[in-house]
Amino acid sequence: MLKNPYSLLIALIFAVLLILPALVAQTFYLHILILVFLYALLGGAWNILGGYAGQVSLGHALYFGIGAYSSTMLMLEAGLSPWIGMFVGMLLSVSVSAILGYPCFRIKGHYFVIATIALGEIAFVLFTNWQWVGGAVGKHIPLLPPGLAVFQFTGKIAYYYIALFFLAVQLVFTWFMQKSYLGYYFQAIREDEDTARSLGINITRYKMAAMAFSAAFMAAGGTFYAQYLLYIDPESVLPNVLSTQVCLIPILGGLGTVFGPVIGAFVMFPLSEFIRASLGGSGNALDLIIYGLLIMIFAIAKPTGIMGFITELIRHRATASKAAGSEERAGF
């Protein structure tokens, strides 16, 4: 009963986003929208593991970094197209997630979170000191004649559509995932691990599956980022603050919902950009303070995030219109 108005709204928003570049002339706004899509993709990736399966990772920049470095290094060293590099990066981050996940998922709750923070930090230090990948200096991606094959374009419009496409793929995946047995298993694990176990769910296997999907989308985002900015270093693709942001976006938007991370990114990212733009260097940390405040407010007042408000609103209106409808009929 909720599905119809909902999907219509989504189709409408998607259509608007498709024609938006024709209407928005200023590159600054396009740039912000591209980053919003990217962060929605990353938030959605985190949401598979953190929101659906309930395993909070604070080291997800690791997989983003693997994606960024894989495509960049394969292009620089082997001349491979970043698209191939992206798939290699996704495979690589899935493998790394499996290797790290196996020991990490033996610990639970806060200890798991601490382990992921440590892994993220280790990756940061490792890449900072690894000369082959450029160390702390990072790597520039050389400018090539633009085209789809080399993942380089003049202007922002192509990047806009690619980011939107990546996000759409992730949303469609999550939509089908949540309706499949995977989504059920993930949520059961989040709700109560022991009960899920007693129902015959292999907990470690499905946590690792959630982590693998999550890592793959993070890596795809990493390649996109590298190709968009054409410069990567540990400070930009492996920082702790990125791990935190990708976790805050779904919390703000709505954990364990398909579109929550999108809403979260649309609220959070422009907010921080505008604060930074309007306050300049002095406002550098203010956006982080505001994130923190928002999270605290949501954690206390509305743990279901902005999506929680929206679903309640839709449900409220549905029941209200149903009541109104029956009154009308009664009036006849």
Residues 182-241 that bind other proteins (CB under 8 A): 184-185, 187-188, 191-192, 194-202
Shortest Cβ 196–other proteins spacing (Å): 8
**How many residues sit in the footprint of other proteins (CB under 8 A)?**
16
- C-alpha 228/C-alpha 234 separation (Å) is 16
Binding mask 166-185 for other proteins (x = CB under 8 A): ---------------x--xx
> Between residues 82 and 183, which has the closer beta carbon with respect to other proteins?
183
Shortest Cβ 159–other proteins spacing (Å): 38
> Between residues 146 and 303, which has the closer beta carbon with respect to other proteins?
303
Strand 139-140 versus strand 231-232 pairing type = antiparallel
> Between residues 2 and 12, which has the closer beta carbon with respect to other proteins?
2
Shortest Cβ 316–other proteins spacing (Å): 16
> Between residues 151 and 206, which has the closer beta carbon with respect to other proteins?
206
Shortest Cβ 165–other proteins spacing (Å): 31
- C-alpha 299/C-alpha 137 separation (Å) is 38
Question: What residue ranges bind other proteins (CB under 8 A)?
Answer: 181, 184-185, 187-188, 191-192, 194-202
